[in-house]
A and B are shown apart, each in its own frame.
Chain A
Amino acid sequence: MWNEKPKLILDHRIEIFSWILVGIFIFLLLNLWSISVLQFNLYHEKSELNRIRVIPLQAPRGMITDRYGHILAQDIPSFAVILLPGSEDPEKSRKKLEVILNRKIEKPLRERYSGEIILASPISIEEVTRVEEAKKELPGVMIEAFPRRIYPPGEIVSHVIGYVGKINAEELKRYSQNQYNNEDMVGKSGIELYYEDIIRGEKGYRKIEVDAPGRIVQMLDTSPPRFRHSLTLTLDLELQQYCSELLAGKSGTIIIGNPKNGEILAMVNQPAFEPNLLVEGISREEWGKLLDNPLRPLTTRSLQALYPPGSIFKLIISLAALNQNLVEKGRTFFCPGYFDYNGQHYPCWKKSGHGRLDFEEAIAQSCNVTFYTIGLELGQDRIIDMAKRFGFGETFDIDLPGENHGFLPTSSWKRQKIGEPWYPGDTINLSIGQGYLLVTPLEIYQMIATISTNGITYRPHLLKQVNDEKGKIITQNLPKIENEVKLKPDVWQTVIRGMRKVVTEGTGKACRDLPVAVAGKTGTAQNPHGKDHSWFAGFFPYDDPQYAFMVLVENGGDGSGEAAHRGRDLVQWIFDNRENTRNEDS
């Protein structure tokens, strides 16, 4: 047949093709096996990632209280109106919300995790009910409670407690191992920053199932955020409040604490800032104003600012001289009102002179001429050496961020930086706490505390204890001896008697008539930019010290004035309001 041949060819080609067909289907089958069986785990994970969104819920931070339980910082529930992804046009929803709330919402719309938009935050509880009632008009709108940090005492604790703010890129990197994300609040300064790791809560999350356009299909799982630790500080809020009032309208700082264990009871810095405003987040412009304010309200003066110590440093000179046996019993000094050395004229602060006085009287009167004399006898090295033993020039590791340390000038430093040798005149200046010497107020406080304990320096601290979520104490911050200055026992006694005389008959007479015996020392820090700074530091009761304190009033004139008067009020307040001094007295 003429058409048999093509038929045979066709059948033959079909035979060939059958093998191709089998090949194609085996190829498809192997692929199917590879994807759905061999690579199941990979694709399963990818499909879960597709549909499940985990929305972190902000963790509440621990409460911070003072030693008596007064609240210094706490989280309160705050409310935000959230628009879920894909539900409606955010601008439209925002307009509707403005009508319901009957007010304009200033803050710009902001997107957070996975397309959720914050329409308004925070809103008041009264507004929450209004939004709930109008919920039918607001599709996709949800009210979410989140913790908001408040500082009930406000300004008066601002430098110590610090404040929290939205985490920034650099902090995100620093805390990367702790799963922070860019909606979190972190401590920016003070205790909030120093104890961030303890105080932060445990984050919660909300797992939701979403579809391809990002709309919520269902809520899968919620784990509420958890609060972990609260902090009890050594601070005494009422005392802090009082100290703050003492410095009202001034620039300066007061530190008061227990010299026998290092607890800080009050640490006030003026001027201060309002931490509650910073939590909300202030505009760049306002922040700039705070930074550029010449009174520097953001500076924690007690730890960070440097001042010449003035006559308060004479205590170090005294201790060094007594320890070197430079002042034997009965040695007297004569002050004509000035001191001439190598043709230079160094005045005493009392132009008419102190006349003849013994060493304790010299401390009491803060006689410059006496200290010029023994300062030269001691020499610069031994003065600096004694200052170092008291911790000057180094930080004390107080539990606050940003602690600074003072500056102790040395002859090698002077040669390098100024290009001049150390002159005896420099030693003379150093002897009365002037010249190149700079200290922080905390260093002065620590010096006083160390003298009051006859040489034992405790680490200054603000944390008293850490409590767990049920209020149980889990860590107690026990006193830690940081250093011990070993001097002959009568050295301490002589200096302390001198300090007592400062109050009874010397420059600190402002405190003479108090119902509790105070030992102290005044200081006047020369200020090339204006009026001198006024120092007064001391401890009481004189024979069994319970409190050590330090007052610095910038531009307060000499120490016997502004600072000593504030010291008097401070001691009086403690006597009136805190029991332990009265008990000691009676």
Chain B
Amino acid sequence: MKIVKLFPLIVLSLCIIGLLAVYSTDPLRGSGIDLKSFFWRQLFWCLSSWMVFYLVSRIDYHWFIKLEWILFLLIIVSLSAVLFFGSGDETGARRWLFSRSVQPSEFSKVGFAIFLAALLSASPEEHGSWWLLFKISVLSVLPMVLIFVEPDLGTALVIIVLWFSGLFFCGFGWKKILTVLALFGGLMPISWLVLKDYQKQRLLSFFSPQSDPLGRGYNVLQSQIAIGAGGFLGKGWLSGTQSQLRFLPAHYTDFIFASWCEQLGFIGGILILILFFWLIWTIFRVSIEASDLEGKIMATLFGSMFTFQVMVNIGMNMGVMPITGIPLPFISYGGSSLFINMVTMGIIWNIAKSGGKE
């Protein structure tokens, strides 16, 4: 119980590290309070997200479970809207609604996790059955495809991970899981045809970042250089040349971990790793201690979602995972992502508190 009680503190620590990291990479940081500056925007999002965290943590999580089909409908409608009315970003992908203020794919991750939890907890007797396997597979593929064609490879992968976690944690046998995996693997070559060129390149660059340092592998290489040049203790707060001189791309979003490590070294990196491990460990503790199946499944799905995002983002920063555009939760700059992560934390905290009461 003690570990679980420290939960908001871990989240707070990560949020503070996030603010520090964004501050250190903010090109406008010297110019006082400026709403154009990344740091002040992030601070604003951080404060409002904590209010949301407080509010959500006071809502009984069963209320979210009851939303199940409404949530699913919302996901499908907003994702379809993006495809038709969305605005694109510099890579040509359409991910935004209302002129780049809302990213539905971010919300759909959490919404889908809740929907899946509701679906799985509603029929515990069917756990492990072919019928349920078929049902959740069909219902997962729909949002996944919609996100995939935006394209937002990272979020699409998160949906896959949620689907797979649902199977894994709800007692589906190894044979069934392997069958699904094999089926999925069989479909991979087809998906290669659907992938956009830049996505193919991102995947290819993962395999040999050295081959073309100014082209596909540039980002990965610069990120590795940033981490490596930081050494054990780092170059010092605010003094990394890789990020300050902008050799490191997206140094305040996707590659913020590398930028942090350049400044604070191996020690700084370890701090983030430990905090995330602790956070995820706690989420699974919450699941174990939750009083009912709904809470258990929901916490578990959230736990695997965070595991995946942290692993892929940090792995990508170190060049051992492909570049998928998944931000580092709480730390990467970005309002939608922080907001939705805090909603998730609020729900988990509510589950934790209800579990404690019983």
- Which 3 residue pairs are nearest across A and B when measured between Cβ atoms? A43-B228, A47-B229, A211-B245
Is B4 among interface residues, defined by CB-CB distance under 8 A? no
Residues of chain B having any CB pair with chain A under 8 Å: 124-125, 127, 168-171, 222, 224-232, 241-242, 245-247, 261, 265-266, 269-270, 273, 276-277, 280-281, 284, 287-288, 292-293, 296-297, 300, 304, 307, 311, 314-315, 318-320
In the complex, what distance in Å separates the CA atom of A377 from the CA atom of B224?
90
Choose from A9, A25, A31, A210 the contact partner of B245 (Cβ within 8 Å): A210
10 contacts between A and B (CB under 8 A): A3-B292, A5-B124, A11-B288, A25-B276, A32-B266, A32-B270, A40-B232, A47-B241, A209-B245, A211-B246
Tell me which residues across on chain B come within 8 A of A211, comparing CB atoms.
Answer: 245-247
- Check if A46 sits within 8 Å of B225, measured CB to CB: yes
Tell me which residues across on chain A come within 8 A of B311, comparing CB atoms.
Answer: 24, 28
- Check if B297 sits within 8 Å of A10, measured CB to CB: yes
Choose from A25, A37, A209, A212 the contact partner of B277 (Cβ within 8 Å): A25
Choose from A32, A33, A36, A51 the contact partner of B247 (Cβ within 8 Å): A51
A215 nearest CB neighbor, chain B only: B245
- Check if A32 sits within 8 Å of B245, measured CB to CB: no
Tell me which residues across on chain B come within 8 A of A50, comparing CB atoms.
Answer: 222, 225, 241-242, 245, 247
A43 nearest CB neighbor, chain B only: B228
Is A135 among interface residues, defined by CB-CB distance under 8 A? no
**A33-61 Cβ-contact flags toward B at 8 Å (1 or 0):** 10111011011101100110000000000
- Check if B125 sits within 8 Å of A2, measured CB to CB: yes
**Nearest-CB distance from B348 to chain A (Å)?**
14
Is A7 among interface residues, defined by CB-CB distance under 8 A? yes
Tell me which residues across on chain A come within 8 A of B270, comparing CB atoms.
Answer: 29, 32
User: Provided the pairs A2-B125, A36-B232, A50-B247 are in contact, do residues A9 and B227 lie with their beta carbons within 8 angstroms?
Assistant: no
Is A14 among interface residues, defined by CB-CB distance under 8 A? yes
User: Provided the pairs A14-B288, A31-B320, A50-B247 are in contact, do residues A36 and B228 lie with their beta carbons within 8 angstroms?
Assistant: yes
- Check if A13 sits within 8 Å of B168, measured CB to CB: yes
Is A213 among interface residues, defined by CB-CB distance under 8 A? yes
Is A18 among interface residues, defined by CB-CB distance under 8 A? yes
In the complex, what distance in Å separates the CA atom of A517 from the CA atom of B187?
108
- Check if A35 sits within 8 Å of B127, measured CB to CB: no
Interface of B is mostly: helix
Which of B241, B280, B287, B304 gathers most chain A CB within 10 Å? B241
Is A113 among interface residues, defined by CB-CB distance under 8 A? no
Is A68 among interface residues, defined by CB-CB distance under 8 A? no
Is A21 among interface residues, defined by CB-CB distance under 8 A? yes
With A32-B270, A37-B266 already in contact, 18 other A-B pairs whose C-beta atoms are closer than 8 Å: A2-B124, A5-B124, A7-B293, A9-B170, A9-B171, A10-B287, A10-B296, A14-B284, A14-B287, A21-B284, A28-B273, A35-B224, A36-B269, A43-B228, A50-B241, A51-B247, A211-B246, A212-B245
**Nearest-CB distance from B185 to chain A (Å)?**
20
- Check if A217 sits within 8 Å of B273, measured CB to CB: no
Tell me which residues across on chain A come within 8 A of B288, comparing CB atoms.
Answer: 11, 14
Choose from A6, A32, A213 the contact partner of B227 (Cβ within 8 Å): A32
- Check if B245 sits within 8 Å of A51, measured CB to CB: yes
Tell me which residues across on chain A come within 8 A of B273, comparing CB atoms.
Answer: 25, 28-29, 32
A8 nearest CB neighbor, chain B only: B171
- Check if B228 sits within 8 Å of A6, measured CB to CB: no
Number of A-B contacts (CB under 8 A): 129
Tell me which residues across on chain A come within 8 A of B169, comparing CB atoms.
Answer: 10, 13-14, 17
Residues of chain A having any CB pair with chain B under 8 Å: 2-3, 5-7, 9-11, 13-14, 17-18, 21, 24-25, 27-29, 31-33, 35-37, 39-40, 42-44, 46-47, 50-51, 209-213, 217
Tell me which residues across on chain B come within 8 A of A29, comparing CB atoms.
Answer: 270, 273
In the complex, what distance in Å separates the CA atom of A36 from the CA atom of B224?
9
In the complex, what distance in Å separates the CA atom of A37 from the CA atom of B229?
9
In the complex, what distance in Å separates the CA atom of A42 from the CA atom of B245?
19
- Check if A44 sits within 8 Å of B231, measured CB to CB: yes
**Nearest-CB distance from A497 to chain B (Å)?**
82
Tell me which residues across on chain B come within 8 A of A35, comparing CB atoms.
Answer: 224, 227-228, 318-319
- Check if A44 sits within 8 Å of B284, measured CB to CB: no
In the complex, what distance in Å separates the CA atom of A28 from the CA atom of B309?
13
**Nearest-CB distance from B312 to chain A (Å)?**
10
- Check if B127 sits within 8 Å of A6, measured CB to CB: yes
Tell me which residues across on chain A come within 8 A of B265, comparing CB atoms.
Answer: 36
In the complex, what distance in Å separates the CA atom of A6 from the CA atom of B171?
7
B171 nearest CB neighbor, chain A only: A9
- Check if B318 sits within 8 Å of A32, measured CB to CB: yes
Tell me which residues across on chain B come within 8 A of A31, comparing CB atoms.
Answer: 315, 318, 320
In the complex, what distance in Å separates the CA atom of A36 from the CA atom of B247?
18
B280 nearest CB neighbor, chain A only: A21
B221 nearest CB neighbor, chain A only: A46
In the complex, what distance in Å separates the CA atom of A209 from the CA atom of B239?
14
In the complex, what distance in Å separates the CA atom of A28 from the CA atom of B273?
8
User: Provided the pairs A9-B170, A209-B245 are in contact, do residues A21 and B229 lie with their beta carbons within 8 angstroms?
Assistant: no
Tell me which residues across on chain B come within 8 A of A6, comparing CB atoms.
Answer: 124, 127, 170-171, 293
Tell me which residues across on chain B come within 8 A of A51, comparing CB atoms.
Answer: 241, 245, 247
In the complex, what distance in Å separates the CA atom of A43 from the CA atom of B288?
43
B287 nearest CB neighbor, chain A only: A14
Tell me which residues across on chain B come within 8 A of A43, comparing CB atoms.
Answer: 224-225, 227-229
**Nearest-CB distance from A165 to chain B (Å)?**
34
- Check if B225 sits within 8 Å of A21, measured CB to CB: no
Choose from B125, B170, B261, B281 the contact partner of A32 (Cβ within 8 Å): B261
Tell me which residues across on chain B come within 8 A of A7, comparing CB atoms.
Answer: 293, 296
Tell me which residues across on chain A come within 8 A of B229, comparing CB atoms.
Answer: 40, 43-44, 46-47
- Check if A213 sits within 8 Å of B246, measured CB to CB: yes
Tell me which residues across on chain A come within 8 A of B280, comparing CB atoms.
Answer: 21
Tell me which residues across on chain A come within 8 A of B224, comparing CB atoms.
Answer: 35, 43
In the complex, what distance in Å separates the CA atom of A12 from the CA atom of B284?
12
User: Provided the pairs A14-B284, A14-B287, A21-B307 are in contact, do residues A212 and B247 lie with their beta carbons within 8 angstroms?
Assistant: yes
